[in-house]
Structure 1
Amino acid sequence: MSSAPWYLNSKKPSLKHQRNWKNDLNSKSTCYDRGAKIFQAEKYRKKACQNCGAMSHDVKSCMYRPRKVGAKFTNMYIAPDEKVESLKLDYAAKRDRWNGYDTSDYHRVVERYEARENARKKYLKEQKIKKLEENDGDDDGLRVDEAKVDESRQMDFAKVEKRFRTSGGGSTGTVRNLHIREDTAKYLLNLDVNSAHYDPKTRSMREDPLPSSKYRSE
């Protein structure tokens, strides 16, 4: 307790040495200003880091790359001073690894991965066109023209949202529908009740719906 009652004898041992930790600690919303710089020096200063030249830490705790000749002797490329804060946090806040993290910086990671994925698709498409151009023939020339067409502009196929079954649960993703719109579904070729059985759960029809037809549907 922070203060003892008047009727207690203060000469005896008590809990007065314990502080009121609930009032001293900062709120949970308090976080470090991670990566903040406060001052940029132009030359080396006394008691600064011998490696980078910053005043916020010493050479033992320096996180910069060890230089062959430190800033103390070269007096060049002095690192800026970092903002050092002394916050009184609780047990969980002290061990929070995301304290002070700026979520707006994550778009750089997304842009880097998207650029790499686009470069990979472009490279694979160029390799496919190059392989088709090496072969001779009219059919190959037609395939080259089809390969050059953007997939998003093809009208025969459509992108649909489908839910995949995985061991960890279903995940929704964009897949390409390989059925052309003009094709008639196999179970619609013969609407007779006694015709081939269609299982809607597995979407399979093992028998031929038109067994007597000359041209059977594939």
Structure 2
Amino acid sequence: MRLIHAGAAPQANQYSMPEEIDFPASDALRKSFRRLPAFRRKQELVKQGEAFHGLYIVRCGMLKQSFRDKGGGYQITHVFLPGDVIGLDAIEDRRYVGKVTVLETAGLLHIPFDRLEKFPGVQTDHLQLVCYLSRTMQRELTRMWNMMSQPSDVRLARFFLAMSSSFQAQGFSPSCFRLPMTRCEIANYLYMADETLSRLVGRFQRTNILAAQGREFCIKDMERLKSIAEAAE
């Protein structure tokens, strides 16, 4: 079964990422931003261990952050969606913790950190930025804790619900979407084996919770998916 029929272009509000989102900021704060040319799939934004030079705000597209340890182990630690801030974990040590790579053509704003440190703006400007930083940090801390402590089916259900919420917040369908991540990348991000992910997706399909083909997914039973996600709470 195909989720997008051959010869038919997908509806923009159904499968596509938005062109851009607006970052709420005053004119004074916006002057600190530098709008970058579009980054293409597989293009590298920063290297692991590279000297910290600023933060990035995702306006559109999707990126991943990966970490490789001294033993050669590889782990995807973050997936960045529109509205997220990249580089928060590099501020303290002034080095980027992991390599950030583009999963889907991305539009970014760069904020040189030295400009932020010297920024003379009013309190409202600072609060706007802090809210964005806090939201991204909290989401990732919560995600990593949940991923390590919950059963595999709960992790997968929460992943699909998070993707659904993100698309809905951007004005797109919360039920049907195309993800730029491969199945292997999704499995790595969710701390599970590729075989476990395949088995769970197959089970969700057989029980009519989900329809999937390649990178295209349709949530057919949102309530049952939520029930699985909440089972371990």
Q: TM-score range by the shorter chain?
A: under 0.3
TM-score (ref. length: structure 2): 0.18
Larger relative contact order, structure 1 or 2 (CA cutoff 8 Å, min sep 6): 2
Q: Which has a greater percent of helix? A: 2
Greater C-alpha Rg: 1
